[in-house]
């Protein structure tokens, strides 16, 4: 029956079917394209969110690592009780976690006029400096500058700074310097400086500086307690017990290394008359002045103590008997020239000293003390205001 359907009708039907199919397929294709584009957008958004989360995780891990690092260095520094040991821990952490050129800790101390000046200095380089690259820094001017500006100071253009040039900080390899005053009880006790620290590390270094400041406070407290325990409150010299311990150590070192060693005993002539005539308050001023005269006329490696009452002692490592005699004479002369000002009184006094030496006079502490004591009282019997060497 289909054979009787005209050809043009069949052709029209086929065209209609083809048109319908094309429209259907085209619509589906468009639908799929739209869905694919939507999926691409979703993937892009997910990738962006993932990247944000990844960066956030990295930042969190970095902050966590920094926090753990700060905790660890705080713990390690807290285990130390000396400036040198604390700065060693600080330096190790600094070199492992920061990019910089040089870092220095300037510990301040006060002189007799209560002015701050440099007491000790600790330094660390990120890389070992080249031979001959060390410059001459005027630390006193640096301290004066930072004390005049007690806030944190960051100078990013060293070459253009007249202040840094005056301090001796200008050189081609230094681009910036950060100075942070460290406070204890509201007073500046040290200054921490670091050169060529990158800007994004300033905040982290500031936190580290705060931790160091806390540890320095602990060191000051420890040293104060330790000093109180081993020094005589009136004269500032060491107490006899601590002096005896150090004397044993020094005798042992001299024996091991074959070194000479000398010992002084000092007694204030007619001190009892001072107390009887002027009272103990004047006597205390005399003792304090004698302690200062002794300190000013011995070396930093020497050690002096208030041995008892008006007697003093001093050990002079690596010093012959002849050398010790010169030191004793200097102390005797300075004392005789000194005017003791106590309240309304003005006094002149003298001292006598005995000198003994290791190993010729004795090889042990009791024998050395006895030899110096014998020399001292031999001198006092001869007329006082004299230095006498022990002779066997």
- The contacts of residue 214 (CB under 8 Å, 6+ apart) are none
C-alpha angle 262/266/272, rounded to 5°? 165
Lowest mean pLDDT among 77-81, 124-128, 292-296: 77-81
* Confidence category of residue 44, pLDDT binned at 50, 70, 90: confident
Res 96: pLDDT: 87
The predicted model gives 301-325 an average pLDDT of 93
Q: Output the CA torsion sign for 359, 290, 300, 328.
A: negative
Nearest CA-CA partner of 355 in 318, 383, 384, 316: 316
Contact 80, 100 (CB under 8 A): no
Q: Is 114 left (phi over 0), alpha (psi -120 to 50) or beta?
A: left
The predicted model gives 128-139 an average pLDDT of 72
Q: What is the mean pLDDT of the chain?
A: 83
Instruction: Give the whole-number percent of the chain exceeding pLDDT 90.
Output: 37
Token couple for 243: 């002096």
Residue 330, H or E segment: helix 321-337
The predicted model gives 225-233 an average pLDDT of 77
SS3 319: coil
* Confidence category of residue 68, pLDDT binned at 50, 70, 90: very low
The predicted model gives 206-213 an average pLDDT of 86
Chain-centre distance for alpha carbon 234: 29
* Confidence category of residue 30, pLDDT binned at 50, 70, 90: low
**DSSP conformational letter for 5:** S
Q: Which residue has the tokens 């004299």?
A: 386
Q: Express each pLDDT in 88-114 by its tens digit.
A: 888 888 898 899 999 999 988 876 566
Lowest mean pLDDT among 108-122, 252-266, 296-310, 343-357: 108-122
Res 166: pLDDT: 82
Res 202: pLDDT: 87
Res 118: pLDDT: 86
Token couple for 106: 């300037």
Check whether the bond before 359 is cis (ω within 30° of 0).
Answer: yes
**DSSP conformational letter for 239:** P
3-state helix, strand, coil in the chain (%, to 5): 55, 20, 25
Gap between the Cα atoms of 21 and 191, Å rounded? 86
Res 138: pLDDT: 87
Res 310: pLDDT: 93
Report which of residues 134 and 141 the model is more confident about: 141
Contact 344, 367 (CB under 8 A): no
Q: Which residue has the tokens 């005589």?
A: 232
Catalytically annotated residues? 310
- Dihedral in degrees, nearest 10, Cα atoms 61, 66, 70, 76: 80
Q: What is the pTM of this model?
A: 0.52
Q: Are strands 387-389 and 351-358 parallel, antiparallel or unpaired?
A: parallel
Q: Express each pLDDT in 322-361 by its tens digit.
A: 999 999 999 999 999 999 998 888 999 999 999 999 999 9
The predicted model gives 165-179 an average pLDDT of 84
* Confidence category of residue 29, pLDDT binned at 50, 70, 90: low
Instruction: Give the whole-number percent of the chain exceeding pLDDT 70.
Output: 82
Res 298: pLDDT: 94
Gap between the Cα atoms of 187 and 180, Å rounded? 13
Report which of residues 18 and 120 the model is more confident about: 120
Q: Output the CA torsion sign for 219, 220, 221, 227.
A: positive
Q: Give the highest mean pLDDT range of 78-92, 155-169, 239-253.
A: 239-253
Strands (E), the chain: 102-110, 116-125, 153-155, 177-184, 187-195, 261-268, 303-308, 311-317, 340-342, 345-347, 351-358, 387-389
Lowest mean pLDDT among 181-195, 222-236, 242-256, 277-291: 222-236
Helix 240-257 / helix 365-381 crossing angle, nearest 10 deg:
110
Report which of residues 223 and 137 the model is more confident about: 137
* Confidence category of residue 66, pLDDT binned at 50, 70, 90: low
The predicted model gives 201-223 an average pLDDT of 84
- The contacts of residue 307 (CB under 8 Å, 6+ apart) are 240, 243, 265, 313
Lowest mean pLDDT among 52-66, 245-259, 306-320, 356-370: 52-66
């Amino acid at each position: 029956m289909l054979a009787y359907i005209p050809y043009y009708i069949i052709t029209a039907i086929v065209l209609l079917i083809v048109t319908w199919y094309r429209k259907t397929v085209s619509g589906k294709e468009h639908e799929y394209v739209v869905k694919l584009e939507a999926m691409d957008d979703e993937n892009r958004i997910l990738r962006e969110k993932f990247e944000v989360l990844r960066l956030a995780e990295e930042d969190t891990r970095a902050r966590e690592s920094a926090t753990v690092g700060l905790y660890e260095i705080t713990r390690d520094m807290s285990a130390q009780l000396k400036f040198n040991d604390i700065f060693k821990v600080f330096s190790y952490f600094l070199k492992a976690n920061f990019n910089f050129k040089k870092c220095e800790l300037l510990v301040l101390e006060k002189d007799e006029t209560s002015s701050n000046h440099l007491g000790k200095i600790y330094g660390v380089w990120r890389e070992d400096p080249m031979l001959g690259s060390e410059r001459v820094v005027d630390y006193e001017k640096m301290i004066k500058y930072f004390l005049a500006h007690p806030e944190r100071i960051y100078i990013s253009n060293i070459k253009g700074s007249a202040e840094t040039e005056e301090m001796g900080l200008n050189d081609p390899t230094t681009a910036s310097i950060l100075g942070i005053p460290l406070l204890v009880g509201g007073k500046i006790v040290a200054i921490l400086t670091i050169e060529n620290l990158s800007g994004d590390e300033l905040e982290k270094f500031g936190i580290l500086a705060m931790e160091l400041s806390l540890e320095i406070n602990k060191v000051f407290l420890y040293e104060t307690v330790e000093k109180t325990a081993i020094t005589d409150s009136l004269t500032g010299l060491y107490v006899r017990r601590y002096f005896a311990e150090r004397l044993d150590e020094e005798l042992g070192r001299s024996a091991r290394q074959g070194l000479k060693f000398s010992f002084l005993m000092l007694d204030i002539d007619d001190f009892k008359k001072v107390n009887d005539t002027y009272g103990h308050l004047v006597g205390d001023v005399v003792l304090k002045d004698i302690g200062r005269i002794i300190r000013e006329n011995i070396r930093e490696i020497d050690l002096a103590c208030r041995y008892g009452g008006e007697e003093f002692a001093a050990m002079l490592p690596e010093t012959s008997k002849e050398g010790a005699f010169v030191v004793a004479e200097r102390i005797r002369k300075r004392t005789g020239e000194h005017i003791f000002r106590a309240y309304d009184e003005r006094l002149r006094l003298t001292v006598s000293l005995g000198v003994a030496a290791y190993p010729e006079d004795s090889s042990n502490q009791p024998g050395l003390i006895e030899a110096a004591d014998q020399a001292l009282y031999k001198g006092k019997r001869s007329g006082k205001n004299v230095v006498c060497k022990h002779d066997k």
